[in-house]
Amino acid sequence: MRPITRRTTRPYFVLLFLATLATAQNAEQHTSRYLDSIRKQPSMLLAFIHELPKGGDLHNHLDGAIYAEDLIDFAVDGGLCVDRTSSRLLAPPCDSCETYTAKPAAQCSYQDQVLYNQMIDAWSMRNWRPGDESGHDHFFAAFNKFGLASHTHVAEAIAAATNRAGMDHLQYVEFMHTADGGAAAQLAGKVEWNPDYAKLRDALLVAGMKDVAAETGKKLAAEDSRAKEILKCGAPDAAPGCNVTVRYLYQVLRGLPHEIVFAQILLGFELASSDPKFVGLNLVMPEDWYVPIHDFNEHMAMIDYLHGVYPKVHITLHASELAMGLVPPEDLTFHIRASIERGHAERIGHGVSVMNEKDPIGLLHEMAERNVLVEIALTSNDMILGVSGDEHPLPIYMKYGVPVALASDDEGVARSDMTHEYLRAVESYHLSYSDLKRMARQGLEHSFLPGQSLWTDTKLVFRTAPPCARDSPGSEKPSATCEEFLAASERARMQWKLEGEFDKFEKKY
């Protein structure tokens, strides 16, 4: 009998790997053909997409992720009142539920269906119709109406939003969250404004910015822990959200005075440098409002300076969440390019009016070359900007090789979820199964999780990193070299998990 040697076993393992790869490709092809067969059957398509592994949601505002029904429960728990005319929450004391009053307790809505419906409609896009109030104005007005409830129930909000992500078959979420509760803004009021950003940073640090960062981290850790308790993580009846990895982007409110914006940007850099729960920062609030438009270049200069001080901190920026008519034409021409070149954005949120930028084709090539991902929020763009279908730039980004990933944005206010974001994308742009799989993979590839990527190339074909090159991605028993590689990289482990979910999903077809 011929002895087994390294020379004889090597061809065997190569053949085994090729056979495994062929099986995986065959399963993917079968799944692709199944998707094509149900494109004109909406109910079947919805069921297919609901079960689809979706990778990461990189653009998710925690405040906006909560459905109004949950917010009403938060308001009742907090003993809050509601202005019957505007549906805005107010601090107690409240009027009685017994008669028709102007300031009833939120709890009154449980017995008053008219009030209950009114609150849901005011706090979301449910039943909104074009008329005296634009979708843009109705959408953003909702936050001030329910804010008292969401700001005092952060753990409950994390639990609710994370669980919905788990039910949607997501593996990872980055929540945008202004987690300091206004502490950075208060600190900014104690320091004299100085256009010399180095001196202003020094003054804020002396005034206690690092203490604010430490307290913010402790507070969020407690809320995160409480959220896991709510979800019963570790128990036999653990909720789906327990399978979702959560990280946070510090959310800067760019519509505030510039001294506060600088203080919040600085806090974001400090948090992302010192606390592993925070993986980066973003600037939020409507891009078309006066202060964000007027101070846009100043905000980019602030980030540019602080990026030089904290070069390892990840940055993603809302840019070009705009449309013609919302702002003067000149304000549509530079926000994406400035956010990348001066704001050092590794990802762009929305990017809707990219074709209004100066030299848009050149910009698209630049984004592809720099590997800048665009966080695409189709439902939000339709409701807020009225941009959808052929007017949306998603197909253009894909045509020029710019990486894209679908995102929920404010799924509670929009009354949507990631399943319906994918459904809208398939129905609007006839996306293939490989397109969907690529988007889900890109959502993890461009996450701000630490560690090396599982992939060495994502341009045309996803190529596995050398330590795992002989493994079937997502397998339960990776080789020793691959296992060592995965142990050293949280990002690669998350990507490996997604591949395992794809393998289970595709075997059904």
* Strand-pair partners of 246: 173
The whole-angstrom separation of Cα 484 and Cα 482 is 5
With contact defined as beta carbons under 8 Å apart, do 350 and 319 qualify? yes
The number of beta carbons lying within 10 Å of the beta carbon of residue 213 is 25
Distances (CA, A) of 213 to 276, 310, 357: 12, 15, 37
- The first and second tokens of residue 24, run together, are 């995986």
Phi and psi at 63, nearest 5°, equal -60, -40
With contact defined as beta carbons under 8 Å apart, do 288 and 251 qualify? no
369: Cβ contacts below 8 Å, ≥ 6 apart: none
Show me where the domains of the chain are located: 23-52+432-509, 58-62+151-428, 63-150
58-62+151-428 domain in CATH 3.40.50.300?
Answer: no
- The first and second tokens of residue 502, run together, are 């794809």
With contact defined as beta carbons under 8 Å apart, do 246 and 162 qualify? yes
The whole-angstrom separation of Cα 352 and Cα 236 is 44
The whole-angstrom separation of Cα 384 and Cα 133 is 11
Alpha helix (H) residue ranges in 183-281: 183-188, 197-207, 209-230, 258-274
Q: Kindly give the confidence (pLDDT) of every residue in the chain, 509 residues in length, as a single tens digit, with 9 standing for 90 and above.
A: 445 454 544 554 444 445 555 555 799 999 999 999 999 999 999 999 999 999 999 999 999 999 999 999 999 999 999 999 999 999 999 999 988 899 999 999 999 999 999 999 999 999 999 888 999 999 999 999 999 999 999 999 999 999 999 999 999 999 999 999 999 999 999 999 999 999 999 999 999 999 999 999 999 999 999 999 999 999 999 999 999 999 999 999 999 999 999 999 999 999 999 999 999 999 999 999 999 999 999 999 999 999 999 999 999 999 999 999 999 999 999 999 999 999 999 999 999 999 999 999 999 999 999 999 999 999 999 999 999 999 999 999 999 999 999 999 999 999 999 999 999 999 999 999 999 999 999 999 999 999 999 999 898 889 999 999 999 999 999 999 999 999 999 999 999 999 999 999 999 99
First-to-final CA distance of the chain? 42
Q: Measured on CA atoms in the order 8, 14, 15, 16, is the torsion positive or negative?
A: positive
Q: Which residue, among 330, 142, 135, 160, has the nearest Cα to 228 in the 3D structure?
A: 160
With contact defined as beta carbons under 8 Å apart, do 215 and 321 qualify? no
With contact defined as beta carbons under 8 Å apart, do 336 and 354 qualify? yes
The amino acid at 32: S
